Amino acid sequence: MVKVGVVGYGTIGQRLADGVALQKDMELIGIADVAPTLPVLALKEKGMPYNFYLALSENKEKLEKFGIPISGNLEDLIKKCDIILDATNAGIGAKNKKLYEKYGKKAIFQGGEKTEIADVFFHGYANFEKGLGKQFLKLTSCNTTGLIRTVDALDREIGIDNVIITIVRRVADPGDYHRGLTNALKVDKVPNHQAVDLMLVMPHVKATGTLVHTPVTHGHFITVAAKPKKTVTKEAVVEIFKKHPRIRVVKIEDGFLGNASIFKFGRDLGHPRGDLYEVFTWEETITVFDDRIIYSIHIPQESVTIPETIDGIRAAMKMQLDRLEAVSLTNKYLNIKNINY
């Protein structure tokens, strides 16, 4: 049983803790954070199902004020674990890495950290083997994670030469205020980091693309123009996507009108927080135009990286050596059912 700790109990950390707790071959030792944040207070109201470790000792009185039991400090958690999932704010993980090295522990960092923090820039489906036995892995960002799922699925079946991507990026997570109130679009320079990151994980595929920040919170929207290495039909592309457990093919005509429809669908399913682990593609957006495969995908940014992070545990700890065996177990325990409409 692999012992796992989660450091940083925010948007991603909450979901990582829940995801690890569902794995039958892993044990969640506890979570660490610095203060009685709203997620920590919610954890208290739920009966403290996870042991809490305080990463900032001067805040002890603040935790005690709310009656939150403290199981120890950050180093206490690290010493008890085989591997740490670091979901802290960008830059904090690099500081924490020194502690992980001090105790000889493995760690997986989220997409906000710089790529050089880790031995491998990791994706469960695209380069699982490169993560085997490594001490430090870094996940791709939410957009890049979902993008690579689709490009990798096509590449393994028909081969992909290059991709051109356009990203309409949500400006903040639901509940975040740090972006302010805005009524504007903001354009990034070409190429966007998702295209660059895709090439780091899949160096045999050329990629470029644009990114536009938009003042919404429920998911990113990506359009991909992929150049295949052999002729393919729309029907074949649809079937490739339908076979992938972490890609769901839906239809506009069935009521999946956009990001809000998909977010509501997750809540209607009764998923905690309305989370969805899959990326969604609309069948009506999939087409073959001249020498390009065109399709659009929805990225549920709060939860999409959770399966690949758990894949990373399996790779780093060498729990499974085979890529498909590893991702299948992650999918099974997360109850990813491979349902399409």
CA dihedral (139, 143, 145, 148) positive or negative: negative
φ and ψ at residue 153, rounded to 5 degrees: -60, -45
Catalytic residue among 126, 142, 315, 327: 142
Least Cα distance to 230 among 165, 286, 289, 160 occurs for 160
Q: What are phi and psi of 278, to 5 degrees?
A: -85, 155
Is 82 annotated in a binding site? The answer is no
The secondary structure of residue 173, as a DSSP letter, is -
Other beta carbons within 10 angstroms of residue 189's beta carbon come to 7
Distance between CA 5 and CA 129 in Å, rounded?
23
Helical spans, DSSP H, in 84-141:
92-102
261 three-class SS: helix
Active site residue 142: yes
d(CA 166, CA 168): 7
Q: Distance (Å, rounded) from C-alpha 209 to C-alpha 155?
A: 18
CB 262 within 8 Å of CB 280 = yes
Sequence ranges of the binding site for NAD(+): 33
- Which residues have a catalytic role annotated? 142
Sequence ranges of the binding site: 33
